[in-house]
Chains A and B, each alone.
Chain A
């Protein structure tokens, strides 16, 4: 059932952590969901319920608990498939988005010469300057291992993707285009249609890092026409230790596995093994079952709110915050300054105060933000910054949270006498 009104105050009641008293006796103003989200009671209950009632190793036992564990785990897969408008067999559970992307990079690297995924010197992998280290280093290292060339989209002064040289960047030798859906630093939402069309025209696959998008707005992998997608459960109200790798079924079934071991095989001899079909091919070992079940509960929670409502709420809050920021002296928003095509992440710098010191003062008022380079060191260097302070919003934040943030920023300026 959809809720009629979107009420952060009502939502916060599902999250025990908001009852916590922070430094200085303040309430928690959690503005670090870009790093990890808080978890509602429904998610924790689902995990506990799995352990208390259905715990068994999936895909193995012949007993009742194994049956129930299977049903819970495979049921979670169906919920995730529905969330992305994907097929059930296309949803691979990993331990994190980082593992999802590494699984792709190592799988491509393990491909036999001549395979669609094999890379040779002269082949090209294209990323962007906006990438989080998790969608940069696996490709950078794959390029090093295979002799392929790593190229990247630059950014415009506003912090958007610079597509002006797309025809030169994505050429006939391009095999992989791996790009973020939304910058974790600047909030920029990357328009995909041109990039996907161009990549497919030259026969490249498109890998989407959806860590900052999937928790915040509706994603339809069929409409996006991409080939692979990764996101992490813990940024989407889910537990840690669970990530999603989505891939087109025909592609997954043509790929080499990354991790090998139990569960991912069809047949095994002492000297050889044949791989199971996807998704099992990419799920070696007993998986993180309770976490998959917890993530499914998180997705149900989000769907109950309605992803369009979530997006609308965050867009309104971001517009409200950007307006407040524009009136602050000595504070510079880094990245797009209007709420169009941008998510609910606001990075900023303050004249005369280092981000760590900003974060420290904000913490004194109960405001939790991220400071530093946000695992996007090359982007920081390009922007000529040592770091930023980043506030990121989610379903439980409201305008009162933004007001506390703004007041605390002004207090930091007073404290450091700037």
Chain B
């Protein structure tokens, strides 16, 4: 079924059991992002230390795609260098604008490639991007850029 290309098992797993979904009290930057058209909201904390993403934690409400995607992004970023992390955000953004033509690089995106099918559903792309954009915003704020 066409739906299965959207709702990969790994997405439903992250939705039911999201990772790092509990805000830590210390962080280098905190951001609050919303999708005004649907009301999805997340708050995301990033801790950077010596050019490394030390920690990402978040809290939020939204659909399975936005929640699972934020879970995947948070887990992926922790332990990466800032440069690797931002490059992963770019890679994920490119995947989302691929209109179903790209599969995504599993070495860079790990579970993030499960969202490749989302790019065929224009109304859901912004759901998938919510957590990644929040991370990028928070990471750049942490570095003062």
Chain A residues proximal to chain B, CB less than 8 Å: 23-24, 353-357, 360-361, 364, 371-373, 377, 380, 386-387, 415-416
Contact = CB atoms under 8 A, between A and B. Distances in A.
Contacts of B6: 360
Nearest to B3: A364
B60 to A, nearest CB: 10
Interface residues of B, number: 20
B39 A354 contact: no
A355 B63 contact: yes
B33 interface: no
Given A386-B61, A386-B62, A416-B12, A356 B3 contact: no
Interface in B55-100: 61-65, 67
Contacts of B7: 357, 415
A415 B62 contact: no
A348 to B, nearest CB: 16
Contacts of B38: 356, 371-373, 387
B39 A357 contact: no
Nearest to B67: A354
B3 A372 contact: no
Interface string B36-54: 0111110000000000000
A360 B3 contact: yes
A24 B1 contact: yes
Interface of B: 1-3, 6-7, 12, 37-41, 61-65, 67, 121, 124, 127
Q: Per DSSP, are chain A's interface residues mostly helix, strand or loop, or mixed?
A: helix
Contacts of A373: 38-39
Contacts of B37: 372
Contacts of B64: 353-354, 356-357, 416
6 contacts: A356-B62, A356-B65, A371-B38, A386-B39, A415-B7, A416-B12
Contact of B63 (A23, A24, A357, A377): A357
Given A354-B62, A355-B63, A372-B39, A361 B12 contact: no
A356 B124 contact: yes
Nearest to B64: A357
B6 to A, nearest CB: 7
B39 A364 contact: no
A410 to B, nearest CB: 15
B3 A415 contact: yes
- Among B12, B38, B41, B127, chain A packs the most CB atoms within 10 A around the CB of B38
A349 to B, nearest CB: 13
Contacts of A361: 3
B63 A354 contact: yes
B1 to A, nearest CB: 7
A265 to B, nearest CB: 39
A360 B124 contact: yes
Contacts of A364: 1-3
A360 to B, nearest CB: 7
Contacts of B12: 416
A136 to B, nearest CB: 15
A380 B39 contact: yes
B121 A386 contact: no
Contacts of A372: 37-39
A373 B37 CA distance: 8
Nearest to A385: B39
A347 to B, nearest CB: 14
B96 to A, nearest CB: 16
A281 to B, nearest CB: 35
Contacts of B61: 386
B65 to A, nearest CB: 7
B137 to A, nearest CB: 21
A356 B2 contact: no
Contacts of A380: 39
